[in-house]
């Protein structure tokens, strides 16, 4: 009903496990001028896909895509946070008990990617809608600024 009331409904694509990585991460880390902003629990990602970060970080760096990220605090997140400059990233650590991040959310260009990798049942969706992406970018910028990070 709601989508019938708006002029152009958001375009969404649901990606199954088998094509998720190739499809979503190609979108996320292709060359672009604006940074990818998002949040993730690296420990949870590593449980489901231990070697994934070894693939996506070099891909992002190769394409010179900057990242601004909230990391759920953990030993792995602290390790990543220390490498921000060399990995073209600005990150901040957040208390994972107070602010749990069970799924990854990224916003880039006119898209929002949501990825759930809990218990190895990885599924993802990309919503393509300029206004929704702008709204989430504004919320992310506000949250980063509250943590003292210029975006």
Q: Return mean pLDDT, the chain.
A: 84
Q: Which has the higher per-residue pLDDT, 148 or 17?
A: 148
Distance in angstroms (rounded) separating the CA atoms of residues 16 and 18: 6
pTM: 0.83
Q: pLDDT tens digits, residue range 59-107?
A: 888 889 999 999 999 999 999 999 999 999 999 999 999 999 989 999 9
Angstrom distances, CA of residue 45 to CA of 20, 21, 58, 86, 116:
14, 12, 17, 21, 9
Backbone angles phi, psi at 78, to 5 degrees: -65, -40
Cα 139 from Cα 38, distance rounded (Å): 11
Q: Give the β-pairing of 36-40 and 11-15.
A: unpaired
User: Is the pLDDT confidence value at 9 over 70?
Assistant: no
pLDDT (0 to 100) of residue 3: 44
Nearest CA-CA partner of 92 in 49, 34, 146: 146
Q: What is the pLDDT of residues 95-138, one digit of tens each?
A: 999 999 989 999 999 999 988 877 656 777 888 899 999 999 99
């Amino acid at each position: 009903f709601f989508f019938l009331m708006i002029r152009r409904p958001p375009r969404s694509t649901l990606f199954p496990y088998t094509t998720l990585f190739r499809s979503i991460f190609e979108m996320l880390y292709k060359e672009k001028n604006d940074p990818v902003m998002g949040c993730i629990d690296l420990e949870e990602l590593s449980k489901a896909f231990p070697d994934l970060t070894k693939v996506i970080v070099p891909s992002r760096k190769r394409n010179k895509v900057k990242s601004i990220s909230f990391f759920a605090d953990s030993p792995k997140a602290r390790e990543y946070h220390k490498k921000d400059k060399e990995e073209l990233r600005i990150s901040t650590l957040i208390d994972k008990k107070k602010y749990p991040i069970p799924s990854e959310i990224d916003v880039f260009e006119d898209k929002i990617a949501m990825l759930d990798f809990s218990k190895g049942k990885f599924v993802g969706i990309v919503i393509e809608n300029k206004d929704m992406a702008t709204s989430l970018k504004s919320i992310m910028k506000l949250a980063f600024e509250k943590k003292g990070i210029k975006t």
